[in-house]
Amino acid sequence: MNTTPDDVLFEDYLADRLSAGDVVRLKQVLSGDRSARARFVEVLQEWELLAESARQITGNSCPVMDDSSNSDGVKRRRPTLRVGAARPSPRRTLSMLVPFGALAATLLVALWLARPSTEVDPVGAIGSTTAGVNILRGKDSIVAKVGTPLLPGDHVRVGDGGQARIDYPDKTRLQLDQRTDVQLPADGSSAMGMGKRVTLVWGRVTADVTKQPAGRPMLFTTPNAQAMVLGTVLSLEFTSTASATRLDVTEGLVGITDSANRTMVEVPAGHFATVAENTQTVARPLVAATTAARKAYRSGLRATYFAGTDLKEMIFDRIETGIHTDLGLESVPLDQRRTDFSVRWNGYLQPLFSEKYLLTLRADASARLYIDDKLVIDAWGSERSAYNQGSVMLDASKRHALRVEYKQPKSGMMVKLDWASPHQQPEMIPVERLSTDQ
């Protein structure tokens, strides 16, 4: 076996041949070199095995070291165990055990401090939450509660009607809208000095990012894009039906990269950009009202229900996630004295793309649609189920006023609003594209 200088040092200690300077050097080696600590443990184990063999043969606990070194500094050979009949004096044994025990204790403390930790440090925590929010951790699903720590690899999934906020130790905050799924990096990149990482699987995230350390930007990744953030207020959304990522920047500067061609576009405050197939990624200005309301707008539409079909006698109003109701022959819970009623939905619509959209309004009775106060679909006199369509140019930089009116002279209710465009597959308009405020 090859003998290293450290081996000689270890064995000299066990043979009680260390000077004061050698003791200092031994402590430095053990405290600064993990592999040296591991080798020292091996030497201890070898020493104890040899001592045990001697005890089994002779019945004595008497390791005697063969010291062939001399006073002129000739290098000592690896100590060997020699069985002898003489028992060492108690004082000699005690003088060896005391320093050995002290060093063993020091070694155990050093190994304990240098051990790989089995506990994983949290990435952040749930700052606020509503019902319908779950944390997926491996095969487990945990109901999110305020203060619940988030670990590397966790998914935070927000269902219909829910909302959640993720808080980081540096006060960075992520607001998750309903129907959103984000994943925190499983590799613990934040702890490794790589900066924060978030994967937006689907849905919408609004982020208030504290200024990040130089060289450690926060990265948001979607299935088709990546946004690099040093410190800003932004909104990021991925729509699976259109395979599109939209970035809105309220404060700061964000670089967004198309994963397909690796081209990056810088998006300054007050601008947005969309990454999608066959679409040029360009930073375009947002209208002032959109930028100012970015932090405060509420998803959905305000639905006002009226008794009768003339939209006059209001019964109640509420926020709904869109226009997609099908009650069959069941009645809306209105005044029990009558079943005829009418509804008006008001709000704002913001598309992902600036292009012509085909809007489809399906209803089992009279209905009509206005965009920016212009009548786009008119089926107000209809008394049967029908698909009614209309086309309109929509600008992705602004929120368009949306109003739908519906009346039912009998009972039941079926009314749905869908959209489609050259870059947008036909679908029900998602709640993330609707807001009650401009």
The answer to the question of residue 186 being in a domain is yes
Cα(65)–Cα(83) distance, integer angstroms = 10
The answer to the question of residue 118 being in a domain is no
164 and 262 fall within a common domain? yes
Structural domain ending residue among the three candidates 268, 292, 316: 292
262 and 324 fall within a common domain? no
399 and 305 fall within a common domain? yes
Cα(194)–Cα(348) distance, integer angstroms = 39
The answer to the question of residue 421 being in a domain is yes
Structure token digits, residue 82: 């020699």
Cα(185)–Cα(153) distance, integer angstroms = 5
The answer to the question of residue 379 being in a domain is yes
The answer to the question of residue 119 being in a domain is no
> In this predicted structure, what is the pLDDT of residue 297?
67
**3-state secondary structure (DSSP) of residue 290:** helix
Q: Are 195 and 219 in contact (CB under 8 A)?
A: yes
Q: Which residues of the chain have pLDDT under 50?
A: 62-87, 89, 91, 93-94, 98, 109, 112-113, 115-118, 191, 289-295
Structural domain ending residue among the three candidates 68, 93, 113: 113
Task: Read off the CATH number of the domain in which 329 is found.
Answer: 2.60.120.1560
pTM: 0.59
Task: Read off the CATH number of the domain in which 137 is found.
Answer: 2.60.120.1440
Q: How far apart are the first and last CA of the chain?
A: 79
> In this predicted structure, what is the pLDDT of residue 334?
61
Q: Which residues contact 339 (CB under 8 A, 6 or more apart)?
A: 331, 410, 411
261 and 375 fall within a common domain? no
The answer to the question of residue 24 being in a domain is yes
The vertex-422 CA angle with 419 and 428, nearest 5°, equals 20
The answer to the question of residue 419 being in a domain is yes
100 and 132 fall within a common domain? no
Cα(16)–Cα(14) distance, integer angstroms = 5
Give DSSP secondary structure letters for 118-181: SSPPPSEEEEEE-TTEEEEETTEEEE--TT-EE-TT-EEEE-TT--EEEE-TTS-EEEEPSSEE
Domain span at residue 359 reads 301-435
> In this predicted structure, what is the pLDDT of residue 133?
95
162 and 285 fall within a common domain? yes
Structural domain ending residue among the three candidates 113, 133, 160: 113
How many distinct structural domains can be found in the chain? 3
Q: Which residues contact 430 (CB under 8 A, 6 or more apart)?
A: 179, 239, 322
CA-based nearest residue to 198, from 242, 154, 162: 154
**DSSP character at residue 144:** -
CA distances from 122 to 119, 149, 152, 185, 198 (A): 9, 6, 7, 11, 14
354 and 426 fall within a common domain? yes
65 and 133 fall within a common domain? no
339 and 261 fall within a common domain? no
| Side chain identity at residue 234, one-letter code | L
The answer to the question of residue 108 being in a domain is yes
341 and 307 fall within a common domain? yes
Q: What share of the chain is helix, strand, coil (3-state, %, to 5)?
A: 20, 40, 40
263 and 157 fall within a common domain? yes
Structure token digits, residue 308: 């009768």
> In this predicted structure, what is the pLDDT of residue 379?
92
> In this predicted structure, what is the pLDDT of residue 102?
53
276 and 241 fall within a common domain? yes
